[in-house]
């Protein structure tokens, strides 16, 4: 209900100011919505000299009565009775002019880009999705677990970790063999930032049954792409007694729930982002344009994800005209090849034209903890592939049999001794279990229609980029 009878106070930042002889109009925004509030300032009541400093970017506080608006573009406006400048903003220095700035330019102004329509919309959506994640799991009886950020183990076994140390790099203590003596380091051993909370989530699931983590994860892979960050947020559910089929159902339910959550709670912001995308792609050829954002989100809700095995996917890829004509940068020749993002996107965007869940990958290209299939050459892995994104989720059923896990760890040179705690869960009441990791920023890319992962996290961390 709007209060038209009592004076109200509003505070925010000036987006634009324009005026005529007797009256000035200020578009004010406080970040709560895309919509600005129009302040109508009667120049007979308020001196022009006071208004003179209220440039774009300045912060102000105004009192007045809300009145139905005669102008188009808003239903109400504020008839100002008093107005105060809180923080001035020098128009000659302020980088955000009331015009369109490129996303690249705004990345360099990440301290201010929250004030643009695009980033305020992305920020509000990001919040809604975080909230939606917790609601989804809470409503289904999952417990949130905080997995550690500093760890001594490499959950993925890929060796792409940032080291954490208090040793002085210019004077590293050495052992007799000339190696760095981590015994003298803070933890008495070498430690890293975590690449995944999975292993700890497994420990919790083997007692609490249904758990999830939602935390920052760090990867020191030197991938300068529009899909990779060095610091990103991952949602990792882990469920005791689930097999890979339950795991696929959970992943599909969760993604659909979150997309529906965005449609239900962020309609204005999605509409704005849809127009932004349309504008951005206006010069692209028809067959290169992406589907309109809101239709794309609804399309995912209305269709079941295609579920096929890695082996079937390789057949499709190998026999595709795309492959035969040499259009893949990495041609598919034989079973066993790791899939690149171009292959994933071919399956999703060209072949099935909907999200795809790929299962049962060769064990050589997947992590040590995945449940081994009877064929001796594949594991019960599952990757969820999305249009425009490629891999959005990676997960698996876990190897719950002690001997098989132990052997696989040895084969893959995973340090068995230091991971005694992980192995022990397979000795004390082990059960089948499964889980997966959803890259939160990849989901944000999909939902917002933004093209670069640096634009869906406030302060991206990428190779050679750690400003702000």
Read off φ and ψ for residue 405, nearest 5 degrees: -65, -45
Residue nearest to Mg ion (CB): 394
Kindly give, in sequence order, each residue whose CB lies less than 8 Å from that of residue 168, ignoring residues fewer than 6 positions away: none
Q: Enumerate residues 99-158 that contact ligand 4AD by CB under 6 A.
A: 155-156
Tell me: does residue 228 bind ligand 4AD (CB under 6 A). Answer: yes
Whole-number Å distance between alpha carbons of 292 and 450: 12
Residue of 64, 215, 439, 460 interacting with ligand 4AD (CB under 6 A): 439
Identify which of residues 185 and 200 has a Cβ nearer to ligand 4AD in the complex. 200
Whole-number Å distance between alpha carbons of 344 and 148: 32
Identify which of residues 355 and 437 has a Cβ nearer to ligand 4AD in the complex. 437
Kindly give, in sequence order, each residue whose CB lies less than 8 Å from that of residue 405, ignoring residues fewer than 6 positions away: 368, 369, 399, 423, 426
Whole-number Å distance between alpha carbons of 188 and 170: 19
Identify which of residues 154 and 185 has a Cβ nearer to ligand 4AD in the complex. 154
Q: What minimum distance in Å lies between the beta carbon of 177 and ligand 4AD?
A: 33
Selected range binding Mg ion among 45-53, 211-219, 263-271, 387-395, rule: CB under 5 A:
387-395
Binding site partner of 124, from Mg ion, ligand 4AD, none, Cβ cut-off 5-8 A by kind: none
Question: What element of type H or E holds 302?
Answer: helix 293-302
Between vectors from CA 61 to CA 55 and to CA 63, what angle results, nearest 5°? Answer: 120
Q: Which of 117, 100, 107 is nearest to 35 (CA)?
A: 117
Residue of 54, 379, 393, 445 interacting with ligand 4AD (CB under 6 A): 393
Q: Where are the beta strands (DSSP E) in 43-181?
A: 59-68, 76-87, 143-144, 150-151, 163-164
Residue of 194, 198, 242, 372 interacting with ligand 4AD (CB under 6 A): 198
Whole-number Å distance between alpha carbons of 362 and 381: 9
Q: Are 331 and 357 in contact (CB under 8 A)?
A: no
Identify which of residues 435 and 449 has a Cβ nearer to ligand 4AD in the complex. 435
Residue of 24, 206, 229, 248 interacting with ligand 4AD (CB under 6 A): 229
Q: What minimum distance in Å lies between the beta carbon of 193 and Mg ion?
A: 18
Identify which of residues 36 and 217 has a Cβ nearer to ligand 4AD in the complex. 217
Tell me: does residue 394 bind Mg ion (CB under 5 A). Answer: yes
Whole-number Å distance between alpha carbons of 341 and 362: 17
Selected range binding ligand 4AD among 9-17, 43-51, 315-323, 391-399, rule: CB under 6 A:
391-399
Selected range binding ligand 4AD among 279-287, 298-306, 318-326, 386-394, rule: CB under 6 A:
386-394
For binding to Mg ion (CB under 5 A), which residues are involved? 394
For binding to ligand 4AD (CB under 6 A), which residues are involved? 155-156, 196, 198, 219, 228-229, 232, 234, 236, 391-396, 435-437, 439, 441-442
């Amino acid at each position: 209900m709007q209060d038209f009878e009592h004076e109200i106070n509003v505070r925010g930042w000036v987006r634009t100011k324009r005026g005529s002889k007797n009256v000035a109009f200020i578009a004010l925004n406080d970040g709560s919505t895309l919509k600005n509030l129009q302040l109508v300032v009667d120049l007979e009541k308020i001196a022009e000299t006071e208004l003179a400093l209220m440039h774009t970017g300045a912060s102000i506080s105004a009192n007045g009565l809300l009145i139905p608006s005669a102008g188009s573009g808003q239903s109400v406006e504020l008839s100002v009775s008093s107005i105060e400048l809180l923080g001035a903003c020098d128009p000659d220095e302020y980088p955000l002019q009331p015009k369109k700035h490129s996303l690249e330019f705004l990345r360099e102004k990440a301290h201010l880009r929250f004030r643009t329509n695009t980033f305020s919309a992305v920020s509000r959506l990001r919040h809604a999705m975080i909230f939606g994640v917790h609601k989804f799991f809470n409503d289904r009886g999952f417990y949130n677990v905080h997995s550690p950020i500093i760890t001594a183990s490499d959950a993925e076994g890929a060796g792409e970790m940032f080291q954490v140390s208090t040793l002085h790099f210019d004077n590293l203590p050495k052992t007799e063999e000339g190696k760095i003596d981590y015994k003298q380091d803070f933890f008495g051993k070498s430690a890293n930032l975590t690449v995944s909370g999975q292993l700890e989530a497994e420990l919790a699931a083997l007692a609490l049954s249904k758990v999830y983590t939602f935390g920052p994860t760090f990867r020191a892979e030197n991938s300068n792409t529009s899909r990779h960050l060095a610091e990103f947020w991952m949602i990792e559910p882990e469920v005791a007694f689930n097999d890979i089929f339950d795991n696929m159902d959970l992943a599909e339910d969760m993604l659909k729930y979150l997309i529906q959550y965005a449609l239900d709670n962020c309609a204005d912001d999605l509409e704005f982002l849809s127009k932004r995308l349309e504008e951005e792609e206006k010069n692209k050829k028809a067959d290169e344009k992406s589907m309109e954002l809101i239709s794309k989100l609804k399309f995912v809700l209305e269709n079941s994800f295609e579920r096929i095995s890695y082996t079937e996917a390789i057949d499709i890829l190998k026999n595709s005209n795309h492959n035969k004509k040499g259009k893949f940068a990495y041609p598919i020749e034989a079973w066993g090849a790791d899939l690149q993002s171009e292959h994933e996107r071919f399956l999703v965007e060209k072949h099935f034209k909907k999200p795809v869940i790929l299962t049962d990958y060769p064990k050589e290209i997947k992590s040590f903890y995945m449940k081994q299939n009877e064929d001796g050459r594949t594991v019960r892995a599952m990757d969820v592939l999305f249009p425009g994104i490629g891999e959005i989720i990676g997960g698996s059923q876990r190897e719950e049999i002690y001997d098989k896990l132990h052997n696989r760890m040895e084969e893959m040179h995973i340090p068995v001794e230091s991971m005694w705690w992980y192995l022990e869960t397979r000795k004390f009441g082990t059960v089948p279990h499964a889980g997966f990791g959803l890259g939160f920023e990849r989901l944000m890319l999909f939902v917002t229609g933004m093209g670069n992962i640096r634009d869906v996290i406030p302060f991206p961390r990428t190779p050679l980029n750690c400003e702000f």
